Structure 1
Amino acid sequence: MPEANIMVALKSFVISNSSTAEALSELSIAIDAVEIDPNLICVFYDGDHEDALIFDYVRTRFPDAALLGGTSCSGVMSEAGLGGAGSIGLLLIEDADGDYGTAAVRLGPDACGCAEQALHAALAAADCSGELPELIWIYQAPGREEAVIEGLRRVVGDRCPIIGGSSADNTVAGGWRQIGPEGPMDDGLVVAVLFSSGGISFAFQGGYEPSGASGLVTSIGYDPAGESGVVTKVSGRQVLTIDGEPAAEVYNRWIGGVLSEKIENGGCILEDTTTYPLGIDAGQIEGVTQYLLIHPEQIGKNQSLSTFASIEEGTRLYSMRGDRTRLIQRAGKVASAAADALPGGSKNLAGGLVVYCAGCMLAVGEQMPEVSRTVSASFNNMPFLGCFTFGEQGSVLEKNAHGNLMISAVAFGH
């Protein structure tokens, strides 16, 4: 058991095996070798694994623990290294003096209302109805992240940080899933509320810098909101024009013509644009501008530009740039910032949870083992689990937001 003076204990377990049954058998052996009675379990795994088997194992082995998780692009990482393709990872958090609850809901037409409902259910599951959590952690299907955050903010405003990720598959084919306390889903939201007895801190940053060019979004394309067809605000995920010109043409000019061969016919540009995201000015910390990143996804009709996050008309977009070295180093810096912000500092660290954008992971490529080593060193080699997502949620200058190509870390104190 944990030492008497330690209130919070974390353990991570990662197994790489293409067979779900065999991976779970190996996980069971590893977990049985330690003594831990978790109050919260996070489980992330390669999208090729069988969700039902994973859920049945976790629920049978730990029937009373709060549960959150889902698919992660090409597996997970931990202090033991990069799990890689076929990996399953579990993070077990024991905190007998804390309170933890999870709830899940399918995201219907009213994503705001669904999120609000899930948060109230998670608070009830933690036996903390009406209380303000120390942190809210979410995992959801990509597509309606802004609406989910707005629904959660109806309850907690920006008084509580909302951290998390959008579940991912391995090929951007829509095969992502989520796991909550009642089982797996493919179109859902899982909400966890955390009231830790040892303290929680977090950091949420991107590993890119502005390249100099910028422009105003002058028109947006969007789907009607809800069944009524009434548009409630001029925002969406399809930028039609920047400074009055076709958005894709302007963007391509900003990044040196990288997309010239795709401008006319359009198509997916995710891999082409990972090191050239767009940024929105989120404010300044000690005179340094902080940017919320947005990943361009596709060139559409009339050279429009589709993105993985919603943008409001009139927003100034900044052309950003990054490289492998910066993306590797930034992961460690984010982990260090989270650990240092704990009550008592990093010496009080029990472990952590990391969200690393799948786009960044694919850009780093064969150097991804360096990312896990960098995070591990920043977390003082304490247990952590990292997932790779298609969208990242976090708090920037005390405002909860959704971005792309971001990195977040949550640090748990003893």
Structure 2
Amino acid sequence: MLKANVGSYTSSNAFEAGKTAGVKATEGLGKPKVAFMYSSVNYDQDELIKGAKEAMNGVPIIGNTSFTGIITPEGFITGDCFVGIMAMDDDMTVGVAGVPKMNDAVSTGSEAARRALENAGRTDSPDYFYMVAPPGEEEFYLKGITGVIGRVPFFGGSAADNSISGEWKLFTDTGSFADGVAVAFFYTGKTFANKFTGAYRETAKAGVVTKVIGNRVLAEIDGVPALEKYAQWSGKDVKDLQGMNLLGASICAPIGVKDRLGDLVAIRHPMNGNEDNTMNLGNNVAVNTAVIYMEGSADELIASTGKTLNELKEKLGTDAGAYHLVHCGGRRAGIDNRIDEAVKEIKEAAGNVPFIAEFTFGEYGYEQDGINTCGGLMLSFTGFSK
């Protein structure tokens, strides 16, 4: 039977924090197979890892820095320094590997996959996997991993800091780094489920992408400069959406791309309104695909946490042993000082099942019969059966 524990600590001493959280997370467990760890950017992450390793005695660790805090059964844990660890013990094999960026993201993803297979002592594809990368090239790291193991369901999120200034780190028990990818490959016969959603309302406002610069600069929609089209849809003045103003203005009104079966709308967060009326997005878009104007209030963002976790429980279809919850940092900013309302939603839906929630700058998940997808302003909630 799967058993999980969650430990957290808020000491400014990185080693002490990692060790204390690690002791709490492993209490009552035999030999955990993996530990998810999420922390404040203000720590020396390598010292934090050393402390956690000493407490957990060889348990593979994977995780990243989280935007402003984490949520555990104890509540919202925040402050200048915080760390949370969820350790999982079950009859399963987990191979963890982290690789700092090499020549390009695709080859780095491939190398991470090969190392994770080696660390798991397996040559076959895992049942599912977890991924963490920095914001920017998530889709290409995923492409490299998929090239090695094929199409396997995944979940995870992008490392975050508190100010979108690039202070984020991702890590395994071998150390931390700012750019690259880390994965955990899971081999188990037990049920796993992921609910991946933006939980926004789809509007009738949509257009065809007619020009993209690179992968993430949306230049034109229906032949119109993208920022102008977005301003028309939102009823705002273009000038009020320029620069980083767009980031906050679009939290409750992002755009989305629908998958080929219509089962999932992956959210694309407009990040920056450029002087030429193009706009930077948080994920890739492609020419000749449609983008949809989405809407959602702060009340809906809060309510969506409990609703999504309840939907995950239905999807899992059996008693859960643990929940891993990826919550977008942008949504967290939109909720702002009402975060305790979201905590209440999550705790009520989780019941007595251990969980840990992180706040990310990119979310990853999948829908049945679709393909693995990266998005922003989304929830990627995962359940592991007992």
Q: What is the TM-score of this pair, normalised by structure 2?
A: 0.94
* CA gap 1:49/1:213 in 2 versus in 1, 3 angstroms: same
Give SS of 2:384's match.
Answer: strand
Pairwise CA distance, 1:25: 5.7
**Hey, what does 1:201 align to over in structure 2?**
193
Higher relative strand content:
1
**Hey, what does 1:367 align to over in structure 2?**
338
Task: Give the counterpart letter for 2:50 in structure 1.
Answer: D
Pairwise CA distance, 1:374: 1.7
Report the identity percentage. Answer: 24
| Contact map agreement 2:271 2:279 (CA 8 A) in 1 | yes
| Contact map agreement 2:3 2:29 (CA 8 A) in 1 | no
Please, which of 197, 203, 206 is the counterpart of residue 211 of structure 1? Answer: 203
Please, which of 392, 399, 406 is the counterpart of residue 363 of structure 2? Answer: 392
| Contact map agreement 1:102 1:126 (CA 8 A) in 2 | yes
| Contact map agreement 1:349 1:379 (CA 8 A) in 2 | no
Please, which of 254, 257, 260 is the counterpart of residue 277 of structure 1? Answer: 254
Residue 406 of structure 1 pairs with residue 378 of structure 2: yes
**Hey, what does 1:380 align to over in structure 2?**
351
Give SS of 1:302's match.
Answer: coil
Give SS of 1:47's match.
Answer: coil
- The answer to which of 270-279 and 192-201 deviates more is 192-201
1:63-103 Cα distance to aligned partner (Å, 9 max, x none): 322210110001211122111233210000011x2101100
Q: Name the CA distance, whole Å, in 1 between partners of 2:136 and 2:19.
A: 34
Residue 88 of structure 1 pairs with residue 64 of structure 2: no
Residue 68 of structure 1 pairs with residue 39 of structure 2: no
| Contact map agreement 2:29 2:89 (CA 8 A) in 1 | no
Q: Name the CA distance, whole Å, in 2 between partners of 1:254 and 1:260.
A: 15
1:346-375 Cα distance to aligned partner (Å, 9 max, x none): 4x2111111000001111112212222222
* CA gap 1:33/1:125 in 2 versus in 1, 3 angstroms: closer
- After superposing on structure 2, the runs of 4+ consecutive aligned residues of structure 1 that deviate more than 4 Å are none
Q: Name the CA distance, whole Å, in 1 between partners of 2:120 and 2:265.
A: 34
**Hey, what does 1:242 align to over in structure 2?**
221
Q: Name the CA distance, whole Å, in 1 between partners of 2:373 and 2:23.
A: 40
| Contact map agreement 1:8 1:198 (CA 8 A) in 2 | no
- The answer to which of 35-44 and 307-316 deviates more is 35-44
Task: Give unpaired runs (5+ residues) of structure 2.
Answer: none
**Hey, what does 1:349 align to over in structure 2?**
320
Give SS of 2:95's match.
Answer: strand
| Contact map agreement 2:364 2:373 (CA 8 A) in 1 | yes
**Hey, what does 2:233 align to over in structure 1?**
254
**Hey, what does 2:294 align to over in structure 1?**
320
**Hey, what does 1:110 align to over in structure 2?**
104
Pairwise CA distance, 1:254: 0.8
| Contact map agreement 2:155 2:365 (CA 8 A) in 1 | yes
Pairwise CA distance, 1:323: 1.2
Pairwise CA distance, 1:107: 2.0
Q: Name the CA distance, whole Å, in 2 between partners of 1:317 and 1:32.
A: 45
Pairwise CA distance, 1:338: 2.5
Residue 154 of structure 1 pairs with residue 147 of structure 2: yes
| Contact map agreement 2:5 2:24 (CA 8 A) in 1 | no
Pairwise CA distance, 1:293: 0.3
* CA gap 1:211/1:260 in 2 versus in 1, 3 angstroms: farther
Give SS of 2:216's match.
Answer: strand
- The answer to which of 273-282 and 146-155 deviates more is 146-155
1:166-215 Cα distance to aligned partner (Å, 9 max, x none): 10000000111011131011112111001235432221111211232111
Q: CA RMSD in A?
A: 1.9
Pairwise CA distance, 1:150: 1.3
* CA gap 1:157/1:197 in 2 versus in 1, 3 angstroms: closer
Q: Name the CA distance, whole Å, in 2 between partners of 1:25 and 1:19.
A: 10
Give SS of 2:139's match.
Answer: helix
* CA gap 1:324/1:284 in 2 versus in 1, 3 angstroms: farther
* CA gap 1:261/1:35 in 2 versus in 1, 3 angstroms: closer
| Contact map agreement 1:77 1:83 (CA 8 A) in 2 | yes
* CA gap 1:28/1:55 in 2 versus in 1, 3 angstroms: closer
**Hey, what does 2:164 align to over in structure 1?**
172
| Contact map agreement 1:259 1:272 (CA 8 A) in 2 | no
Please, which of 323, 329, 337 is the counterpart of residue 358 of structure 1? Answer: 329
Give SS of 1:83's match.
Answer: strand
**Hey, what does 1:302 align to over in structure 2?**
276
| Contact map agreement 2:15 2:49 (CA 8 A) in 1 | no
1:211-238 Cα distance to aligned partner (Å, 9 max, x none): 321111111112xxxxxxxxxxxxx100
Q: What is the TM-score of this pair, normalised by structure 1?
A: 0.88
Q: Name the CA distance, whole Å, in 1 between partners of 2:166 and 2:7.
A: 27
Residue 58 of structure 1 pairs with residue 52 of structure 2: yes
Pairwise CA distance, 1:247: 0.9
How many matched pairs? 384
